[in-house]
Amino acid sequence: INTIIYESSQEASFFVANEIADLIRQRQKQGKQVVLGLATGSTPTKVYDFLVKFHNEEGLSFKNVITFNLDEYFPMEPDSIHSYVRFMNEHLFDHIDIKKENVHIPDGTLDKEDVRDYCHEYEDKIRTAGGIDIQVLGIGRTGHIGFNEPGSSLKSKTRMVRLDRVTRLDAASDFFGLENVPAKALTMGVGTIMAAKRIILMAWGEGKAEIIKQAVEGKIKESVPATFLQHHDNCDFIIDHAAASSLT
């Protein structure tokens, strides 16, 4: 893991958005597609703001972009205020020229018996698209990446998982109470994430400092899934000063 510390999340997000935009433009010149792995939550929103800005002000086109989101709560209706479908539309997809058929977000409306096949297909679609070129990640206080909570294995693939209590507590205010936070989610696996050609994990603020320290400096172990990223040879942690404050 390569750790890059910025003065502010704004500056860091500008840097990340530029890396993504550069790859999109480079592939456009070659007549090729780009596959992005995307995250939701508070961390990547400024990156999406910048991408929208580049689209509006510099004509950056997303016609050659295919996206796969990491996760979705289960069950979840796409039009719910809590859904990651709605989040992505509001923060990014509604404001750019991406083709609807190129957007993939795990489906929170499936019947339970269809989940297994659906998850296999999600993996197949990523592979068929050529694999993920850049995977954007946040990190949870449990050390989760996507919704791969403690106990997730290095080889895990897209599947249904049970959310950790800490993760549900962190989501409780958004859901107006812990009891309203779904117990489960669909998520890409650690193995799915590790197969990405490039990984950019972002973290802002003091609240992330302790888990960033563990992820970067700690022993690699299932109880802190983000430590698996230490095995990846093209993974940057792009963080602000506050999130870096516990690093030695």
The torsion angles phi and psi of 148, rounded to 5 degrees, stand at -80, 95
Sheet holding 235-240, edge to edge: 2-6, 235-240, 199-203, 134-137, 34-38, 65-69, 103-104
Q: Is 158 within 8 Å of 149 (Cβ atoms)?
A: no
Q: Does 41 bind ligand F6R (CB under 6 A)?
A: yes
* Candidate residues 17, 34, 36, 39; the one interacting with ligand F6R per rule CB under 6 A: 39
Residue nearest to ligand F6R (CB): 138
Alpha carbon distance 46, 238 (integer Å): 13
Q: Which residue number, 34 or 47, has a Cβ lying nearer to ligand F6R? A: 47
Piece of 25-33, 34-42, 214-222, 229-237 that binds ligand F6R (CB under 6 A): 34-42
Piece of 29-37, 41-49, 117-125, 176-184 that binds ligand F6R (CB under 6 A): 41-49
Q: Is the peptide bond before 150 cis (omega within 30 degrees of 0)?
A: no
Q: Which residue number, 41 or 189, has a Cβ lying nearer to ligand F6R? A: 41
Is 222 annotated in the active site?
Answer: no
Per rule CB under 6 A, count of chain residues that contact ligand F6R: 14
Spot the catalytic one: 149, 206, 217, 222: 149
Alpha carbon distance 229, 193 (integer Å): 9
Using CB under 6 A as the binding rule, the residues of this chain from 108 to 147 that contact ligand F6R are 138-140, 144-147
Whole-number minimum distance, CB 146 to ligand F6R, in Å? 4
Tokens encoding 3 = 């750790």
Whole-number minimum distance, CB 120 to ligand F6R, in Å? 20
* Candidate residues 66, 70, 194, 212; the one interacting with ligand F6R per rule CB under 6 A: 70
Piece of 15-23, 33-41, 50-58, 88-96 that binds ligand F6R (CB under 6 A): 33-41
Tokens encoding 200 = 């950019």
Sheet holding 159-162, edge to edge: 71-74, 184-187, 159-162
Q: Does 173 bind ligand F6R (CB under 6 A)?
A: no
Cβ of 38: how many Cβ atoms within 10 Å?
Answer: 25
Q: Which residue number, 108 or 146, has a Cβ lying nearer to ligand F6R? A: 146
| 118-to-108, 163, 205, 206, 240 alpha-carbon distances in Å | 11, 19, 36, 37, 37
Q: Does 83 bind ligand F6R (CB under 6 A)?
A: no
Residues that bind ligand F6R (CB under 6 A): 39-43, 70-71, 138-140, 144-147
The residues that are catalytic are: 149
